[in-house]
Structure 1
Amino acid sequence: MTVTVPLDSSKIVAQAAQGRVGVLLVNLGTPDTADASGVRVYLREFLSDPRVIENQGLVWQLILNGIVLRIRPAKKAKDYLKIWNNEKNESPLKTITRGQAEKLAASIGDDHHVIVEWGMRYGNPSLKSGIDSLMAKGCDRILVVPLYPQYSASTSATVVDKVATVLKDMRAQPTVRFAPPYYDDPGYIDALATSIDAHLTTLTFEPETIVASFHGMPQSYIAKGDPYQAHCVATVEALRKRMGRDDKSLMLTFQSRFGYQQWLQPYTDKTVERLAKEGVKRLAIVTPGFSADCIETLEEIAQENAEIFRHAGGEQFSAIPCLNDSDPGMDVIRQLVLRELQGWI
C-alpha cells in the first residue's frame, strides 16, 4: 500500500524564499563579566581548547583546575576592570566587534542584500548563535571572517573547528566559506600605516622607536609547522617598506607569554625594558595582530608596558590604537568581505 504524505506548502515556500548571503565576523572572545566568576568561565573554555593548549593530558588538567582556574581569574578580573566599558557593562572587544559588524552591515548590506552578524570563538555571543541567526534570516551561504590578520592554528583554525562542530548537528547546513588571513594585504598594510601616522600627529613627542607587538606563541608550535611567525614577519616587513622605516625604527616583538616553555622572541616586555635602559626616552607601540583593542592592548601594552618603560628610565610612551571600527579599519574588512563574496553577490 502506498502512503501519501501531505506536503506543507508553507514550508516549501519558506525554503524557496531562502537564498540570502550571510557574513559572520569572528573575534577571540571575552568574559561576560569583569569578576573572578566570569573570567573563570571564559578561561576554562579558552584553555580547554586543544588548539590553544595542545597537550590536554592529565598534567595540564591538574594545572588548569588545581592552579590556573583557582588563582588567575581574580587577578585577570582586576585587569579587566581597568578597561571595562562600564556604560555597556562589557569589554571593549565586544563593543568594538559589534561596531565593526554594524558598520559593515550599513556599508554593504543594502546594496548587496547581505546579512551581517558577529560572534566570539570563546564566550558570548557564540558562533552558534551567529550562525543560527543568519540562517533564521534566510541565509543559505555564510562567509565566516576570522578577524585575525595573521593565521595561526590557535586562532584561525579553531574558528574552523568550532564552525564545523556547529554544522555537525544540523540537518540542513548552509554552504560556508572562510576568509583567508590578510597579513600582507596591501589595503591592510596601508591602513596600518595611515593609522600610525595619524596617531603620531596627535602626540606631543616624536617616538625614537616604534615597537610592533604581536601576541606570542610557544616556539614548539612553530616547529610543528604553524606559519604564524612568518606571517608576523611579513606584516612588519611590508609595513617598514610602506613607511620607509628600518628594523631599528620599527621593531618586531611578541607579548602575552604564558607558562614556562619558550615562546616566540624577542619578548615585548623585555624589549621595552632594554630600550629604556639603553637610553630610549620616547617610545610607541602598535599591535598589528589585533583587529580590535582588548585586554592585551589596553591593559597589557598601554598600562603594564608603559609602567615597565618608565620604571626602566623611559619618559614618554604611547600605545597606538588598533584599527578597530575606524574608517581605515572598516575599509580593510569591507574590501576583504567583498573580495571573498565574489560569485555569491
Structure 2
Amino acid sequence: MSFQKEPPYTHGTVSRSAIVLVNLGTPDAPTRSAVRRYLKEFLSDPRVVEIPRAVWWCILNLIILPFRSGQSAKKYASIWSREGSPLKVHTQRQAEALFGALAERGHDGVTVAMAMRYGSPSLPEVLAKLKADGCERVAILPAYPQYSGTTTGSIYDAVFDHYRAVRNLPELRFVRNYHDHEAYIRALEHSVLAHWEAHGRPDQLLLSFHGVPKRTLLLGDPYHCECLKTARLLAARLKLTPQQYVVTFQSRFGKAEWLQPYTAPTLQQLARDGVKRVDVICPGFTSDCLETLEEIAMEARHDFEAAGGEVFHYIPCLNESPDWIAGLAEIAEQHMIGWPTMMTPAQREAVKKDAELGREAALRLGASA
C-alpha cells in the first residue's frame, strides 16, 4: 500500500486545531447530469442502501439514475437560489459563523471548515487541505443531531477511508450525536416560539424527521429512539401535551416498510379529522434543503390542503440563527476540551505576519499581471 505524499513541514509552524462541519451533500447544479452524478455517489454508499451490491447496481444504474435524475433535477431547480444550493449555502454560513463564535469565546487557534459527505467540497479534499494548513487536531462535527448508520456512520467511514492512506495522522475526535443536547433543544424551542409569536399557535405541531427503513431499527440503529427523544424534550420545553404534537417520518423509497407514521398520510388524516392549522418543523435537519423546502414546504402543504386543511406553516430549519450558532459553538467547545485552541501572543503575531506577507505577495502578483 502506498501513502499520500506528506506536505512540506517547517519547524516553528503554529499547530492548529480544526472543526469540520459535515453535511450530507448536494448536486453542483440543478441539472440532470449534476443530479445524476450526485445520486450515483450517494446511493452507491452501502451505508445508505443495504441491498446486495450486484442487485442494487442493476436497480441503480438501469432504473433509478436514468429515470429519477431528471425528476429530481426539476425539484432542485424549484428551490435553487441565486447563491446556489440552499443546503450548501446554509452550511457554509454556519461554518463561518461558528468560526466567529469560537473566536469570541477565545478559541482563536481553531480553523472551521465545511465539507460534504457526497458532492463538493468533499470530505477527503477538506481533510487534505487542513493537513496542508498545519491542523494537527481535527474534530468531525456532523450536521445530523440524531445518529444513524446511514448518515453519521457513513461520515466515519469516509474519514477512516481517507486517513488509511495518510502516514502522519492528526488527533481525531468525533461528535456522535447531540439529539438531546441542551443547546440544540433550546435553539429549536426559540425557533418555534419566535414563529408562534409572529403567527400565533397552530392546532397541531408536527415534527417530521427523515425516514429510514424499519429494518435498521430492528437491527440496532438508534436513530428512531433519538428522534423520539428530541421530540419529547422539545415538546416539554414548549409545554405541549401529547395530543398537541405528533412525530412523523418522511422520504420513503421502495416497497419496504420504513419508520412510521409517515408524514404525508398523517397530514391528510389530520385535515380529515378537522385540524384547520398545522405547523411543521423538521428537527433532524439543521440546514434547509430539498427535503424541507420542496418535500415539506411544497408537497406536504399540498397534501394537507387537498385533504381539507386550511392553514399550513413550515417552520424553517435552524440555519444560521444566533441561538443555533451559539449552540454549535458550545457543542464544538465541549469536544475540544484539552486542546490548545487559544493562541499565545507570539502565535498571534506569527499568524498576523504570515497574513501580511500573503497580502504583499498577492499585491506583487497583481502588479506584475
The answer to whether TM tops 0.5 is: yes
Which residue of structure 2 lines up, in the alignment, with residue 62 of structure 1?
A: 58
Which residue of structure 1 lines up, in the alignment, with residue 182 of structure 2?
A: 186
Offset, 1:15: 5.0
What is the one-letter code of the residue matched to 1:234?
Answer: K
Give the Cα separation in 2 of the matches to 1:273 and 1:15: 65
| 2:139 matches 1:140 | no
Query: Residues 43-78 of structure 1: CA distance to partner in whole angstroms, max 9, x if unpaired?
Result: 001100000001242221111111100111100111
Offset, 1:18: 4.5
Alignment partner of 1:317 out of 308, 312, 316? 312
Q: How many residues align?
A: 332
Which residue of structure 2 lines up, in the alignment, with residue 6 of structure 1?
A: none
TM-score for both structures, normalised by structure 1: 0.94
Alignment partner of 1:156 out of 147, 152, 158? 152
Alignment partner of 1:282 out of 270, 277, 283? 277
Query: Residues 211-265 of structure 1: CA distance to partner in whole angstroms, max 9, x if unpaired?
Result: 0000001000111100000000111111111111122212100001111100000
Q: Which secondary structure state, in structure 1, belongs to the residue aligned with residue 18 of structure 2? A: strand
Bigger shift: residues 209-218 or 107-116: 107-116
Matches within 5 A, 1:6-155: 14-85=10-81, 87-88=82-83, 90-109=84-103, 111-112=106-107, 113-155=109-151
Distance change in 2, residues 1:259/1:11 (3 Å): closer
Offset, 1:109: 3.7
Give the Cα separation in 2 of the matches to 1:238 and 1:107: 26
Which residue of structure 1 lines up, in the alignment, with residue 358 of structure 2?
A: none
Give the Cα separation in 1 of the matches to 2:329 and 2:221: 27
Which residue of structure 2 lines up, in the alignment, with residue 301 of structure 1?
A: 296
Give the Cα separation in 2 of the matches to 1:57 and 1:134: 33
Matches within 5 A, 1:163-202: 163-202=159-198
Query: Residues 128-178 of structure 1: CA distance to partner in whole angstroms, max 9, x if unpaired?
Result: 121122122210100010111100000001000001111111121111110
What is the one-letter code of the residue matched to 1:96?
Answer: H
Give the Cα separation in 2 of the matches to 1:166 and 1:138: 17
Give the Cα separation in 2 of the matches to 1:303 and 1:59: 34
What is the one-letter code of the residue matched to 2:291?
Answer: E
| 2:244 matches 1:249 | yes
Which residue of structure 1 lines up, in the alignment, with residue 367 of structure 2?
A: none
Q: Which secondary structure state, in structure 2, belongs to the residue aligned with residue 161 of structure 1? A: helix
2:101, 2:326 within 8 Å by CA — same for their partners in 1?
A: no
Give the Cα separation in 2 of the matches to 1:174 and 1:285: 41
TM-score for both structures, normalised by structure 2: 0.88
Q: Which secondary structure state, in structure 1, belongs to the residue aligned with residue 72 of structure 2? A: helix
Offset, 1:278: 1.0
Offset, 1:11: 5.4
Q: Which secondary structure state, in structure 2, belongs to the residue aligned with residue 319 of structure 1? A: strand
Which residue of structure 2 lines up, in the alignment, with residue 230 of structure 1?
A: 225
Distance change in 2, residues 1:11/1:256 (3 Å): closer
Give the Cα separation in 2 of the matches to 1:303 and 1:184: 29
Give the Cα separation in 2 of the matches to 1:11 and 1:228: 42
Give the Cα separation in 2 of the matches to 1:46 and 1:211: 28
2:209, 2:250 within 8 Å by CA — same for their partners in 1?
A: yes
Give the Cα separation in 2 of the matches to 1:247 and 1:314: 21
1:48, 1:56 within 8 Å by CA — same for their partners in 2?
A: no
Give the Cα separation in 2 of the matches to 1:58 and 1:75: 25
Give the Cα separation in 1 of the matches to 2:129 and 2:75: 32
Offset, 1:206: 3.0
1:93, 1:293 within 8 Å by CA — same for their partners in 2?
A: yes
Q: C-alpha root-mean-square deviation of aligned residues, in Å?
A: 1.4
Query: Residues 289-314 of structure 1: CA distance to partner in whole angstroms, max 9, x if unpaired?
Result: 00110000000000000001110001
What is the one-letter code of the residue matched to 1:266?
Answer: P
What is the one-letter code of the residue matched to 2:224?
Answer: Q
Identity %: 43
Q: Which secondary structure state, in structure 1, belongs to the residue aligned with residue 202 of structure 2? A: coil
Give the Cα separation in 2 of the matches to 1:127 and 1:248: 42
Q: Which secondary structure state, in structure 1, belongs to the residue aligned with residue 17 of structure 2? A: strand
Give the Cα separation in 1 of the matches to 2:330 and 2:52: 38
Which residue of structure 2 lines up, in the alignment, with residue 268 of structure 1?
A: 263
Give the Cα separation in 2 of the matches to 1:18 and 1:277: 63
